[in-house]
Amino acid sequence: MRCYCCSSKSFDECCGPFIKGDKHPSSAEQLMRSRFSAYATAHYQYILETYTKEKQQGLSVEDLAQSAQGATWFALKVHPTLAASSVDSLVGNLVSSTEDSSIDSTVHADAKVEAVTNAEPISKTNLKSISKPNNAIVEFTAYYFENKSMYQLHETSNFSVEDGKWRYHDGVLHDDCGKIKYGRNLPCVCGSNKKFKQCCATKSR
């Protein structure tokens, strides 16, 4: 089965291992996708745990379950924002380079940081703070059904790294959030290339 987050991978190769706790997302986008999949599968404990510590205070699994009640989350579209993708790939590259402790890879990582930031010669202390940005943004649209109507939630979210793990902090909703009408003969919003009426429209309850 294709993953709930509408990636081209299966759930077990995409968001499943994150929700089960077998793996940790290595980018803000992965975390965002897995949180969507957790909403789609009612894993509210995971939703709670992937908020920043500050936001977890005052939230409970029950609150999250209650606020999501009645909504069937069926599709996700991640918007390619320059900031999010470049920060993510930068983090990915540098984290994988610096994880290896050999001298070669340190030099390699140094070179990358210099190329990106055009900074003065970088000490190892500097590298540590530069190579792991603690914040990223991801813009997405999530689609859901409620009482047989279709809604979209269009948000730009802020993510931070806490204890080496990506966490969702908060987000800004765009003006086009709310109930939408979507043509039944149009290509489905999930990117399946099927008509909407033959695809996600059948999940409407």
Closer to Zn ion by CB, 76 or 136: give it: 76
Beta-bridge partners for 161: 166
Question: Which of 192, 197, 203, 204: binder of Zn ion (CB under 5 A)?
Answer: 192
From the CB of 117, what's the least distance to Zn ion, in Å? 32
CA distances from 47 to 32, 42, 100, 123, 176 (A): 10, 9, 31, 38, 24
**Euclidean distance between CA atoms 62 and 55, whole angstroms:** 15
CB of 87 or CB of 189, closer to Zn ion: 189
Q: Alpha-carbon distance 200 to 115, whole Å?
A: 44
Q: How far apart are CA 5 and CA 25, in angstroms?
A: 14
Site string for Zn ion, 25-44 (x = CB under 5 A): --------x-----------
Token match 């470049």: residue? Answer: 86
Indicate the residue among 41 and 81 with the shorter CB distance to Zn ion: 41
* Strand partners for 145: 72, 150
Which span sits near Zn ion by CB under 5 A: 5-13, 41-49, 96-104, 134-142? Answer: 5-13
- Contacting Zn ion (CB under 5 A), which of 19, 87, 142, 200? 200
The helix/strand/coil state of 47 is helix
Q: Does 167 bind Zn ion (CB under 5 A)?
A: no
Question: Which H/E stretch holds residue 151?
Answer: strand 149-162
90/199 with CB nearer Zn ion: 199
Does residue number 142 form part of the binding site for Zn ion (CB under 5 A)?
Answer: no
Smallest separation (angstroms) from Zn ion to the CB of 94: 24
Asked if 97 and 130 touch (Cβ cutoff 8 Å), the reply is no
Q: Which residues contact 185 (CB under 8 A, 6 or more apart)?
A: 195, 196, 197
What minimum distance in Å lies between the beta carbon of 15 and Zn ion? 3
Number of residues lying near Zn ion (CB under 5 A): 11
Q: Hey, is 70 helix, strand or coil?
A: coil
Closest approach of Zn ion to the CB of residue 102, in Å: 33
Q: Candidates 14, 78, 90, 130: give the one binding Zn ion (CB under 5 A).
A: 14
Query: Which 68-127 positions form the footprint of Zn ion (CB under 5 A)?
Result: none
Please give the residue ranges that form the binding site for Zn ion (CB under 5 A): 3, 5, 7, 14-15, 33, 188, 190, 192, 199-200
